[in-house]
Amino acid sequence: MGREFLEGNEAIARGAMKAGCDFFAGYPITPASSILHYMLDLVPRAGGMAIQAEDEIASMGFCIAAAMAGRKVMTATSGPGISLYSENIGLAQMGETPLVIVNIQRQGPATGSATKGAEGDIQFTRWVTSGGLPVIALSPATVAEAYDLTYRAFNLAEQYRSPVFIMASKETGVTRESVDLDAVELPPRVERKAAPPDQKYQPHYFEHLAETPAMSAFSGEHIARFTTSTHDKTGYLTTNPAVIQEMLDHYAAKINDAADDIALYKQDFQDGADTLIISYGIISRSVAVAVKNARARGQKVSSLVLQTLWPTPEKTIRAAMNGVGKVIVPEMNMGQYRLEIERLAPPGVEVIGVDKMNTSLISPSEIETIGGLA
C-alpha cells in the first residue's frame, strides 16, 4: 500500500499483469510505446512472452494465435495501429478470441499529431472491421481507472471470448498522477471456461445464442480448429444460410444481450436538475469541474460518466435522460458518441455537443459556456 507517481500507460501494464497477462506483442507508436516497454520488462519475469513484432498486423497475428493457444494476451497501439489491426480484429471476432487491445488515442486522422491527445476513435472502434459485429470498449479517465479497467477488460475478454478495447487518451496514458493502485478494489479474476475433456470439442458450441462457448487451447486436451471462414459450431466451413445466420446471431447476442452486465459508469445526479452532462474518458474530468462550478452558482446539473462505451449502456443512458430537458455531450472529437445519445434521447430533449479536436483539452469553462451553464 502506498502512493506512487505513475502514468496511465504504466497502470495499464500493471493492470494487465494483475489479471494474469502472459503474452504481449506490439509495435512502437507514440503515445502507446511505453506500454510495450513496461510489458517487455514485466511479462518475461512472470514466465511469459513479450515481443516487438515487425508491424501491427504481425502483432495482432501473434496475439490471436497465442490467445487461442491458451495465453492471456494484450496488445497496445494508437489510432494508426488500430487501422492496421482492423482485418485481424474481424478474425478475432470470427474465432471468438479473448484478447485485450489498448488504444492510447492521439490526434488524427492519419499520422496527425503523434504527441497530442484526442478521443477520435470512438465510432471507428465500434465499426472497426468488416461485418459490423458488436465490440466491447472501456474508457478510463484516470490513472487508477486505467489500472482498474484494464484488469476488468481481461475478465470481459474471457467471459465473452471476445476482443475488448481499452480506449484511453494520450492525456490519460502519458499524464502522471499521484495514485495508490493498491487501494483500487478489483473483482475476482475470471478464468476461461474450459471444454469438458471427455467430449469431442466443438470450438463454437452453444446451447442458446448468447452463451459463450467453452474453449480448448491449441496444445491442450482436444484437437482444436480455428478459421477465418464462415463456419459452424465445429469450426468447419459452411455455406448453409441458416447456420451462417445462427452463428452471426450468436456473435452479436453474446455481447448485445450482456450490455447491462458490461455497463460500467459513474453517476452524480442532482434532484430536479434540468441539465445532464454525459461524458467519458479524459473529458469527464473537465465535466467534474464544470458541474462543481455550476452547482456553486446555484444551478442544478447532473452528470453521467460512461466507462463502458460499447456495447452502449442504453438502459443507463435512457434512465439518466428521463426528466431532463437538456443533455450536454462534450467530446475530444467532432461529436461521435453524441450520435448514440441523440438516438436514445426522448422526444423534446435538446442534445448539445461540445466538440473540440485541436489537441488541447476541453476546459470546464468551454463546457459551461457552450452548454449554456455559464
Whether residue 277 contacts residue 328, with contact meaning beta carbons closer than 8 Å, is answered with yes
Q: Which is nearer to another protein, 194 or 253 (CB)?
A: 194
Cα separations in angstroms, 185 against 15, 130, 147, 179, 307: 12, 37, 10, 13, 16
Report CA torsion sign: 236, 239, 243, 247: positive
Minimal distance in Å, beta carbon 178 to another protein?
Answer: 5
DSSP 3-state of 107: strand
Q: Which is nearer to another protein, 45 or 208 (CB)?
A: 45
Q: Which is nearer to another protein, 20 or 220 (CB)?
A: 220
Phi then psi dihedrals of residue 304, to 5 deg: -120, 120
Q: Which is nearer to another protein, 66 or 373 (CB)?
A: 66
* DSSP E strands, 14-121: 23-26, 49-52, 73-77, 99-107, 113-117
Q: Which is nearer to another protein, 220 or 269 (CB)?
A: 220
Query: Cα–Cα distance between 256 and 173 in angstroms, integer?
Result: 28
Q: Which is nearer to another protein, 314 or 366 (CB)?
A: 366
Binding residues for another protein (CB under 8 A) = 1-5, 23, 25, 30, 41, 44-45, 49, 51, 53-55, 57-58, 60-66, 68-71, 87-88, 91, 114-115, 171, 174-178, 217-229, 236-237, 282, 285-286, 288-289, 360-361, 363-365
Minimal distance in Å, beta carbon 53 to another protein?
Answer: 8
Minimal distance in Å, beta carbon 231 to another protein?
Answer: 9
Q: Which is nearer to another protein, 209 or 217 (CB)?
A: 217
Distance from first CA to last CA of the chain, Å, rounded? Answer: 41
Minimal distance in Å, beta carbon 195 to another protein?
Answer: 13
Minimal distance in Å, beta carbon 159 to another protein?
Answer: 21
Q: How many CB atoms lie within 10 A of CB 41?
A: 11
Q: Which residues 6+ apart lie within 8 Å of 224 measured at CB?
A: 68, 201, 203, 216, 217, 218, 235
Whether residue 370 contacts residue 354, with contact meaning beta carbons closer than 8 Å, is answered with yes
Minimal distance in Å, beta carbon 323 to another protein?
Answer: 26
Minimal distance in Å, beta carbon 166 to another protein?
Answer: 19
Residue 137 belongs to what H/E stretch? Answer: strand 136-138
CA–centroid distance for 162 within its chain: 11
Minimal distance in Å, beta carbon 363 to another protein?
Answer: 6
Q: Which is nearer to another protein, 87 or 246 (CB)?
A: 87
DSSP designation for 182? G
